[in-house]
Amino acid sequence: MNWASRRRFVITAIGAALIIFVLALILVPTLYQAPSCTDRTQNQGEQGVDCGGPCSLLCTALQQAPVVRFTKALFPAPNRVDVIAYVDNPNTGAAARRTPYTLTLYAADRTILKQATGTLDLPPFRSVPVYVPAFFTGNVAGAQAFLTIDPSKVTWFTFKGTLTLPKVASPAVGGTEGAPRVTATLSNPTFVPMTDIIAVGVVYDASDNVIAASQTLLKTIPPQGSVTATFTWGQPFGLPPARIEVMPLLVLPS
């Protein structure tokens, strides 16, 4: 190969290398897809397809279904039915937002009086009250309520944040026999205001059965401050109250 041929070869090789380099710069970002939690592939250290490891979604094998501890129909006034239920999240490090549930009220003969749906947030390893005032209107003595959750419709995700609820202290029964009242002190342990806090008050008898429930809205609890939550009823409890539970509701951050 003479000098001119060698020169043409070198120029051609350099040109080809430049073309390959430019094509690589264009095609590699276009064709290569970095692993993600939505690529339907188990990669990047995931415990399943798009779940576990660096992904927030909890794998099915690690999920525990929410447990409905109880559901009860209450009759706080003539021709009115309230419903109270407790739902437990047994997962210590997982939460679920806007979990759908179905609430059904049955008459004594098992006919359905009303059925409705709703959603609730399930913080990690917590019990969540579901209180529905005036769920049904009518004289339905002996009615029973049931809250159900379809586990396949619960989207669990790993929760690594910190959840802060108001601290509850000094629950007490007051008022009169015909118009009982429950009060409790809710304090804010943080240095920022807490706003629009919904608290549910539940009253139990000596056999630990629920005999009454109510809820109240606290517009603001000042930083390092406290407010009194008040729950009222328009008729007697029916049985002497033996225990009071006041639970603030927690909305999971988006």
Q: What confidence tier does 193 reach under pLDDT thresholds 50, 70, 90? A: very high
Question: Could you tell me where the beta strands, DSSP code E, fall in the chain?
Answer: 67-77, 80-88, 94-106, 112-122, 127-137, 144-148, 156-158, 167-175, 180-187, 194-204, 210-221, 226-232, 243-248
Q: Using alpha carbons only, how large is the chain's radius of gyration in Å?
A: 29
Of 69-73, 106-110, 160-164, 171-175, the one with minimum mean pLDDT is 160-164
Asked which of 158, 192, 223 is the last residue of a domain, the reply is 158
Mean pLDDT of 155-177: 92
Q: Is residue 111 part of a domain?
A: yes
Residues 128 and 177 in one domain: no
Mean pLDDT of 2-11: 59
Q: Is residue 102 part of a domain?
A: yes
Model confidence pTM above 0.85: no
% the chain with pLDDT above 70? 85
User: pLDDT at position 10, please?
Assistant: 53
Q: Say how far apart CA 101 and CA 87 lie, in whole Å.
A: 10
User: pLDDT at position 63, please?
Assistant: 86
Query: What mean pLDDT value characterizes the chain?
Result: 88
| Beta carbons of 71 and 147 less than 8 angstroms apart | yes
Q: Is residue 12 part of a domain?
A: no
Instruction: Decide if pLDDT at 28 tops 60.
Output: no
For residue 173, what are the domain limits? Answer: 167-248
Q: Is residue 31 part of a domain?
A: no
Residues 109 and 193 in one domain: no
Total number of domains in the chain: 2
Q: What is the CATH number of the domain that holds 152?
A: 2.60.40.3230
Residues 206 and 235 in one domain: yes
Asked which of 105, 140, 158 is the last residue of a domain, the reply is 158
Q: Is residue 230 part of a domain?
A: yes
Q: Is residue 112 part of a domain?
A: yes
Asked which of 109, 133, 158 is the last residue of a domain, the reply is 158
